[in-house]
Amino acid sequence: MNTRTICFTNNKGGSGKSTTCANLAYELSAAGKKVLMVDGDMQLNLSLSFFEEDEVLAMAENKKNLYYAIKDKDDLTDYIVKTEYDNLDLIPSSTLMSQIEYELFTMMQRELVLKKCLKKVKESGKYDYILIDAPPTLGTWVINILCASDDVIVPVEASPWGLFGLANMFEFIASLEEMTDARVLGVLITKVDERKNYYRQTMEVLDSYESINVFKSVIHVDSMIEWAQDASKPVAVFKKNTRSALEFRELAKELMRL
Ligand SMILES: Nc1ncnc2c1ncn2[C@@H]1O[C@H](COP(=O)(O)OP(=O)(O)OP(=O)(O)O)[C@@H](O)[C@H]1O
Ligand SMILES: [Mg+2]
């Protein structure tokens, strides 16, 4: 099986990376794809999307989490945790990820540590997709995430500052050309609010980036997303036909066609 690794990056905080990663992963698994999620952020938001807070903290405290795997350059196979859903697994994170830049600093080939730790999982062919949630930074750790990925999805919030810094980020990804084949698969517009006109404004600016694909699917503001996150459930499980659930399903279909 050919495993496709996709990361969600945007150095702008709160743009919808973790929400998209979690719900897209769920929809792909519900469509019968085998999916592994990697929680690359010390905020633990991806893990919290599927597990209760005490379970997440317990995973963060024992040694089977991403922080220790990276620190020890360990094969990630043994770090995989099953979620309650078929075909959907997770490598949990730790709040210690706040120190990961420091740990990486003295390592040889420090940009490629995650890629090497994921090598066996990828080669095992067990998964159709590996989805990696990145933190809102652009340091060595995010370079690791980009180097481990085939594709990048950039969630962008439809808001006045949503596009601020986006050009920087594209340049950052382009500057890694010699290190990674990762390419920007597309920009996903999130948190669209029909009562405001930022969506059109956002589209106009994105249209000016000729080489960048913008996903046809967009994700509207939907309060069910927050309720679902509070209940540690994908939005489609929390409320089956709520607008964002259908939108993430469409996005999964769009992705599977790309
Ligand atoms: N479509 C939506 N409708 C309503 N709320 C949303 C939507 N998408 C995301 N949110 C909320 O916006 C906040 C930011 O979303 P999220 O955590 O996914 O962004 P992020 O890019 O991962 O943030 P960070 O940069 O901190 O990692 C969260 O509180 C989430 O519940
Ligand atoms: Mg996040």
One pLDDT digit (tens) per residue for the chain, 258 residues: 799 999 999 999 999 999 999 999 999 999 999 999 999 999 999 999 999 999 999 999 889 999 999 999 999 999 999 999 999 999 999 999 999 999 999 999 999 999 999 999 999 999 999 999 999 999 999 999 999 999 999 999 998 888 888 888 899 999 998 899 899 999 999 999 988 888 888 888 888 888 899 999 999 999 999 999 999 999 999 999 999 999 999 999 999 998
| For ligand 1, atom 2: residue with the closest CA | 221
Q: Which of 135, 148, 141 is nearest to 107 (CA)?
A: 141
Query: Which ligand has the minimum distance to the alpha carbon of residue 19?
Result: 1
Give residue-wise pLDDT tens across range 35-73.
999 999 999 999 999 999 999 999 998 899 999 999 999
Q: 4-257 has which fold?
A: Rossmann fold (3.40.50)
| For ligand 1, atom 10: residue with the closest CA | 16
Domain boundaries, the chain: 4-257
Query: Hey, what amino acid is at 194?
Result: E
CA–centroid distance, 221 to ligand 1, in Å, is 10
**Residue percentage of the chain with pLDDT more than 70:** 100
Q: At what angle are helices 17-30 and 223-230 packed, to 10 degrees? A: 80
Q: Which residues line ligand 1 (CB under 6 A)?
A: 13-19, 41, 43, 45, 135-136, 190-191, 219, 221-222, 225-226, 229, 244
CA–centroid distance, 136 to ligand 2, in Å, is 7
Strand partners, 129: 4, 35
Residues with CB under 5 A from ligand 2 (ion): 17-18, 45
| For ligand 1, atom 13: residue with the closest CA | 14
Helix-strand-coil split of the chain, %, nearest 5: 45, 15, 40
The encoded tokens of residue 181 equal 């084949």
Spell 126-162 as b/e; 16+ CB within 10 A means b: bbbbbbbbbbbebebbbbbbbbbbbbbbbbbbbbeeb
Q: How many CA atoms lie within 13 A of 203 on its CB side?
A: 9
